[in-house]
Amino acid sequence: MTDTLEIAGLHVSVEGKPILRGVDLRMERGETHALMGPNGSGKSTLGLAVMGHPNYEVTAGSIELNGENVLGMSPEERARAGLFLAFQRPIAIPGVKMADFLRHATTNVRHPERKEGEELIPMRDFRKELKGKMEHLRMDVEFARRYVNDGFSGGEMKRAEILQLAMLQPKFAVLDETDSGLDADAVRLASESIAEIGRAKMGLLIITHHDKLLEHNPPDVTHVILGGRIVEKGGPELAVELYQHGYDRIRSQYPEAEAQNQQMIQQEETV
Partner 1 sequence: MFHGACSLIFESMWARLFNVGVESAPDSIERFTDTDRIAFGCPQFNQKKSMQASAQIAFDDASFSAFLASRQEPEWLATQRRQAWQAFGELDWPNRSHEEWLRTDIRMFGLQRYGLDSSPPESVELPQPQLAAGIELGGATVSLDSSSVKSQCEARWQERGVLFGDLGKLVSAHPEKIQPHLMRRAFDVNYDRFAALHGAWWSGGTLLYVPRGVVVDEPFHAFSAITDGGVDLGHTLVILEEGAEATLLSETASLNPTAGGMHCGGVELVVGAGANLRYVNLQDWATGVWHFSHQKAVLGQDANLQWTIAAMGSRLAKVNQHVGMVGPGANCQVNGVMFAEGRQHLSYHTLQHHEVASCHSDFLYKTALQDRARTVWRGMIKVDPQAQRTDGYQRNDNLLLSTSARADSIPGLEIEADDVRCTHGSTTGKIDEELIFYAMCRGFSRREAVRMIVTGFFQKIFDRITIDSVRQALGLAIARKVREYD
Ligand X SMILES: Nc1ncnc2c1ncn2[C@@H]1O[C@H](COP(=O)(O)OP(=O)(O)O)[C@@H](O)[C@H]1O
Partner interacting with residue 120 (select from ligand X, partner 1, Mg ion, none; CB below 5-8 Å by kind): partner 1
Whole-number Å distance between alpha carbons of 169 and 173: 9
Whole-number Å distance between alpha carbons of 15 and 271: 12
Asked if residue 43 binds ligand X (CB under 6 A), the reply is yes
β-bridge partners, 90: none
**Shortest separation between residue 14's beta carbon and ligand X, angstroms:** 4
Q: Select the residue interacting with partner 1 from 25, 79, 99, 239 (CB under 8 A).
A: 79
Do residues 9 and 24 touch, judged by C-beta distance below 8 A?
Answer: yes
Asked if residue 247 binds partner 1 (CB under 8 A), the reply is no
Q: Select the residue interacting with ligand X from 13, 45, 108, 164 (CB under 6 A).
A: 45
Query: Would you give the binding string for ligand X spanning residues 6-35, x where CB under 6 A is met?
Result: --------xx---x----------------
CA torsion sign for 213, 219, 222, 228 is negative
Q: Select the residue interacting with partner 1 from 116, 142, 183, 185 (CB under 8 A).
A: 116
Beta-strand runs (E) in the chain: 4-14, 17-28, 32-36, 56-65, 68-69, 83-86, 172-176, 203-207, 221-226, 229-234
Do residues 152 and 146 touch, judged by C-beta distance below 8 A?
Answer: yes
- Strand ranges across the sheet with 56-65: 17-28, 4-14, 56-65, 68-69
Query: Within 185-214, which residues bind partner 1 (CB under 8 A)?
Result: none
Asked if residue 42 binds ligand X (CB under 6 A), the reply is yes
Query: Within 34-73, which residues bind Mg ion (CB under 5 A)?
Result: 43-44
Helix axes 154-168, 184-194, angle to 10 degrees: 10
Site residues, partner 1 (CB under 8 A): 51, 53-54, 74-76, 78-80, 84-85, 87, 90-96, 100-101, 104-105, 108-109, 116-120, 123, 147, 164, 168
Site residues, ligand X (CB under 6 A): 14-15, 19, 37, 39-45, 55, 264-265, 267-268
